[in-house]
Amino acid sequence: MMYVTPENTVAGQQQLVGHFSWFKYSSPQTFFRLAGKLAPWFAVAALVFAVAGLYLAFFVAPTDSQQGEVYRIIFIHVPAAWMSMFIYVVMAFWSGMGLTFNTRLSGMMASALAPTGALFTFLALWSGSLWGKPTWGTWWVWDARLTSELILLFLYFGFMALKAAIDDPRRADKAGAVLALTGVINIPIIYFSVQWWNTLHQGASVSFTSAPTMAATMFAGMIVMALAFWMYSIAVTLMRVRCIILERECDSQWVAEYMGSVK
């Protein structure tokens, strides 16, 4: 007969050893509370950065000498495109954590990130299309940058559809993680597509290796809008992971206690 004693549970062992462990936060119960505390602060930060970013975008950044006012789409297009790729990488990171450490929270985080990643991918494509029409004369072209970004959208959809199709959440987490990790190969393809192929899409205006090829105020507006989208993404991901945790753990004792405390 096996009794549950402090020694044979992970939490018990941590209590006995008494040291700080990051794995404590991989418990959905602990993370639920942490996410609830953090989300409002990220939402406020998103709002502040968005107001500052929009002010820079429309009132400080000058008119572009070649494109005129239509270039102002850059202040949402580039940040949305950055977020679409960054969120995928974070999703793949959590997927890798889930496969390696078999932590329940990892799969929940990956699920929480996917819809926001898909949204930013769509917004990058949408704003790009509205920018392409007046500057290139076409809404869409099958060049390497646009096509690989469209594939990113399908990867997000595939990830969500696959997870939704598998009833057992733990098996769905594993299958989703394999898909997410396989698809991460598309990220460098998107990023370097403008160098590797001859694309209608322009090369990077901002890179890690050289100074930005734009006015400082334009650059500042883009960075501040990127921060706004980043903070927004963290806030909504934390909100969504709280929903997922409650949905998945609805039979557990701590959720019952939580429900008792909110009423």
Partner 1 sequence: MNWASWNDFLAMGGYALYVWGSYAVVFALLATEIVLLALRKRRILQQLDRMRDAARGGIL
Residue placing its CB nearer to partner 1 in the complex, 10 or 250: 250
- Please tell me the count of residues contacting partner 1 according to CB under 8 A: 38
Smallest CA-to-CA distance from 64 within 74, 54, 49 is with 74
Q: Which two tokens stand for residue 68?
A: 């005129």
Residue 247 binds partner 1 (CB under 8 A): yes
Where does residue 181 rank: exposed (0-12), middle (13-18), buried (19+ CB within 10 A)?
middle
Q: Segment contacting partner 1 (CB under 8 A): 13-21, 150-158, 161-169, 246-254?
A: 246-254
Q: Could you tell me the CA-to-CA distances from 124 to 129, 170, 200 in Å, in that order?
A: 8, 32, 16
Q: Looking at 16, 51, 89, 130, which residue binds partner 1 (CB under 8 A)?
A: 130
- Are 56 and 224 within 8 A, CB to CB? yes
252: left (phi over 0), alpha (psi -120 to 50) or beta: beta
Q: How many CB atoms lie within 10 A of CB 209?
A: 5
Minimum gap (Å) between residue 133 Cβ and partner 1:
7
Query: By CB under 8 A, is residue 111 in contact with partner 1?
Result: no
Q: Which of 90, 113, 119, 152 binds partner 1 (CB under 8 A)?
A: 119
49, 77, 94, 109: residue in contact with partner 1 (rule CB under 8 A):
77
Burial category of 23 from C-beta neighbours within 10 Å (exposed 0-12, middle 13-18, buried 19 and up): middle
Q: Of the two residues 130 and 161, which places its CB atom closer to partner 1 in the complex?
A: 130
- Judged by CB under 8 A, the chain residues 168 through 227 that form the site for partner 1 are none
Give the binding site for partner 1 (CB under 8 A).
Answer: 58-59, 61-63, 68-70, 72-73, 76-77, 80, 115-116, 119, 122-123, 126-127, 130-131, 133-134, 232, 236, 239-240, 242-243, 246-247, 250, 255-256, 259, 262-263
